[in-house]
Structure 1
Amino acid sequence: MTKAEKTREFIVAKTATVFNEKGFAGTSFNDLITSTGLSKGCIYGHFESKDEIALAAFDYNRNRISNYFDSQMIQKDTIINQLLVYPQIIRRFPSIPAWQGGCPILNTSTEADDTHISLKQKAAEALSLWQDKIENQIKRGIESKEIKMDVNPKEIAILIVYLIESAVMQAKVSGSMSNLRIAMDFLEKTIKNLSS
């Protein structure tokens, strides 16, 4: 990896949390300078615009969370136990470093839906990939006879993602984890009921 590539990665890693917490509009260039300790000229020497940094930061944040889920799921021996990782992790999401600032898909979707087309597209793509991943897990579970044959993989995938995103949003807005815990208890029961 070249020095320029390392610097680009450093900038993205250092600004990712700022963008996730403050959003694109709320993040000033001074925030980027403060978080990286680099000059404006140095940052612009590696990125053409704040937009380009924000898009890279979104990918960084999304990958960080996805990798965290994957690292927990790989330790599980069944599809059902892998799916149960979602409510287990979401119940404690504020304490997980990868979730600092909240869910990047939710945060970006909320802010960029009418204001930043490129970020909106990134969030929509991430949401779709996440749903597809869960849908494929469920299909594998049906094929291995671990999950009931009459389960609709697409419906369950959408339900899981929507329950997670809405529960996280309500917890962030209200500052209370009680409704999130109720939603994750329901999700856990739903996943367990998929078992054949």
Structure 2
Amino acid sequence: MSKAEQTRQFIIEKSAPIFNVKGYDNTSLSDIQKATKLTKGAIYGNFSDKNELAIAAYEHSSSVVFEAISNRVKNTASAKEALLAYPNYYVQNWQLVFQKGGCPLMNAAVEADDHLHFMRDIVRKSIMRFIQSLQDVIEQGQAKKEFYAKISAAEYAAMIFSLMEGTIMLAKLMNDTKYFQIVADRIKNIVEQELMR
């Protein structure tokens, strides 16, 4: 990376957790300056406006989560293990999730749906990326005859994603991590009782 690219990436990485914790509207330029120790000119020399930085920060945050889960999925031996790697990531990493303000996808989805319309399409695409990755795992399990062929991979992928996102919200709001294990166990039951041959 060039020095300019390194600076841009530095700003994104420092501002991403601030946007996720405080929200996109409530994050100010002074928050970004404080975190980066850069001037307003240096920040806006790399981004045309706050919206461009917000999008880049969101894309970074969602990609970090996606890659962390994808790496776990790659190290599994079966479709069942691959599907369970998703809820188990949150069971094992809830502290990190809480420290970073919760799930960036859900946080951004709420703001994008309510009023930050410039982010709506980007958030939708990233959510579809997650759901598609779950669908791919289910379809691979069907192709290997580990899962029933008759089930709808798309429907189960959407359901598993929704269960997990709702759990992140509930666990964080209630400040109780038991919900992660409850839903991980429920997803395991769904996989074993409804998907597996």
Q: TM-score, normalised by structure 1?
A: 0.94
Aligned to 2:77: 77
| CA distance 1:11–1:41, shift in 2 (3 Å) | same
Q: Give yes or no for the alignment of 1:67 onto 2:82.
A: no
Q: Write the letter of the residue equivalent to 2:82.
A: Q
Q: Write the letter of the residue equivalent to 1:172.
A: K
Aligned to 1:131: 131
- Please state how far the C-alpha of 1:46 moved relative to its aligned partner: 0.7
Q: Write the letter of the residue equivalent to 1:107.
A: N
* Residue segments in structure 2 that go unaligned for 5+ positions in a row: none
- The answer on whether the counterparts of 1:79 and 1:137 sit within 8 Å (CA) in structure 2 is yes
Aligned to 1:177: 177
Aligned to 2:9: 9
Count of residues paired in the alignment: 196
- The answer on whether the counterparts of 1:12 and 1:56 sit within 8 Å (CA) in structure 2 is yes
Measure, in 1, the Cα distance between the counterparts of 2:189 and 2:99: 24
* Residue segments in structure 1 that go unaligned for 5+ positions in a row: none
| CA distance 1:72–1:140, shift in 2 (3 Å) | same
Measure, in 2, the Cα distance between the counterparts of 1:32 and 1:122: 22
Q: TM-score, normalised by structure 2?
A: 0.94
Identical counterparts, % of pairs: 30
CA-to-aligned-CA distance 1:67-120 (integer Å, 9 cap, x gap)? 100111111111111111012112234223697221111000112212111222
* Pairing 1:152-167 to 2, within 5 Å after superposition: 152-167=152-167
Q: Considering only aligned residues, what root-mean-square deviation do their CA atoms show, in Å?
A: 1.6
Aligned to 2:196: 195
Q: List, as ranges, runs of 4+ consecutive aligned residues in structure 1 with deviation greater than 4 Å.
A: none
